[in-house]
Amino acid sequence: MKPMRPAELTETNFRAHQLDLQDYKDTRNNIAKVEEAIKSSIAIHIQPLIEEKRRFEILKVLKEQYEPTEDEMEEKALRQYKAVIKRSPRKGKINAWIEDFDHAYLAIKRLNMSESQDKHVQKDFLRSIEAVDPLYSRLHYSNIRNTTYRNLLSDFRTYLANSGRDDDSAVAHNFATFNGQGDKPADAEKPQDAGKKGEGSSPYCVCGLRHRMEKCWQLYPDLRPPNWKLNSKAMKKLKDFAAGSSTQAQMVRSIIEKNWKQGDERPQEYHVMALSFSASLDIPLKNCFIIDTGS
């Protein structure tokens, strides 16, 4: 608003009025420049629509012309969501992929699209991570009706953190082991002992020793070096953990069923431990690595 000339004109009032008047003129000039810049940047076919329009009317016209329709927003959100699903988590860090998936999910959720239904999203998530963790995916696929996407996401993140499998190399190894491809670790000749002081680089495994779970010699017979000997304490710790009801305990039981093969020759005490393990976890005897010493 243009400043009014003071009724009682004194030298002080006059100077203040002059300053206010100059600010007013500067503001008007700046607004005019912005308005001209807007008009000059608008496509020619839009020009007739904004002739003799006031500023707020120009902005309204532009919004009507360029704001995406609901169909366009849904198409873009769905395209991004499908792109994340199509991109395998193995091509990058799992946690980074999870963030991308969750961001894409929130986009379709805000638009209330049918693809954002909870069970549908859970299925998409589990199918996507199956490439890097088939055991987890298969175990949880049948439980979709009893949980939510948010709970599933939280559980998977906790599982990754607890197992130390939130990096590419660990995931690649686990996937290879699941498919029967043993890859001997570079430090295969070094004992897997409980961490000593200064050995804090590796997390504690579920067997109680300090190493990543996917490198555990108790769990993966194919990784064991020659002349490997049973660690009774670690096996007991593993047995107690696998008897639990947590997601990771279910994973350990599945790994046992997959990798402990019949005919794997071990000392007699190991056979006894295996038999006890099988009985307590209700694992079929044919899936364990026990030799019939009576024949």
pLDDT tens-digit readout, 30-45: 888 877 777 676 766 6
Residue 190 has pLDDT above 60, yes or no: no
Residue 56 has pLDDT above 60, yes or no: yes
Residue 21 has pLDDT above 80, yes or no: yes
Asked whether residue 101 is domain-assigned, the answer is yes
Q: What own/partner pairs with CB < 8 Å and gap ≥ 24 does 131-136 have? A: 131/88, 131/89, 131/90, 131/175, 132/88, 132/89, 132/90, 132/94, 132/171, 132/174, 132/175, 133/165, 133/171, 133/174, 133/175, 134/175, 134/178, 135/178, 135/251, 135/254, 135/255, 135/258, 136/247, 136/251
Shared domain for 78 and 132, answered yes or no, is yes
Range of the domain at 43: 14-66
> What is the C-alpha to C-alpha distance for residues 25 and 29, in angstroms, rounded to an integer?
6
Asked if 208 and 233 touch (Cβ cutoff 8 Å), the reply is yes
Greater confidence, 259 or 14? 14
Shared domain for 103 and 59, answered yes or no, is no
Asked whether residue 34 is domain-assigned, the answer is yes
Shared domain for 156 and 82, answered yes or no, is yes
Shared domain for 48 and 85, answered yes or no, is no
Sign (positive or negative) of CA dihedral 22, 27, 30, 36: negative
Return the percentage of the chain with pLDDT > 70, whole number. Answer: 68
Shared domain for 108 and 153, answered yes or no, is yes
Shared domain for 49 and 125, answered yes or no, is no
Asked whether residue 84 is domain-assigned, the answer is yes
Q: How many domains does the chain have?
A: 3
Is this prediction's pTM over 0.75? Answer: no
Predicted confidence at residue 269, as pLDDT, reads 41
Shared domain for 247 and 232, answered yes or no, is yes
Predicted confidence at residue 166, as pLDDT, reads 55
Shared domain for 251 and 226, answered yes or no, is yes
Alpha carbon distances (Å) from 80 to 62, 117, 129, 286: 26, 17, 17, 47
Shared domain for 45 and 95, answered yes or no, is no
Asked whether residue 233 is domain-assigned, the answer is yes
Asked whether residue 32 is domain-assigned, the answer is yes
Asked whether residue 253 is domain-assigned, the answer is yes
Greater confidence, 170 or 37? 37
Asked whether residue 137 is domain-assigned, the answer is yes
Residue 152 has pLDDT above 80, yes or no: yes
Shared domain for 101 and 137, answered yes or no, is yes
Query: Which tokens in the block code for residue 164?
Result: 């130390």
Half-sphere exposure of 71 (CA within 13 A, CB side): 0
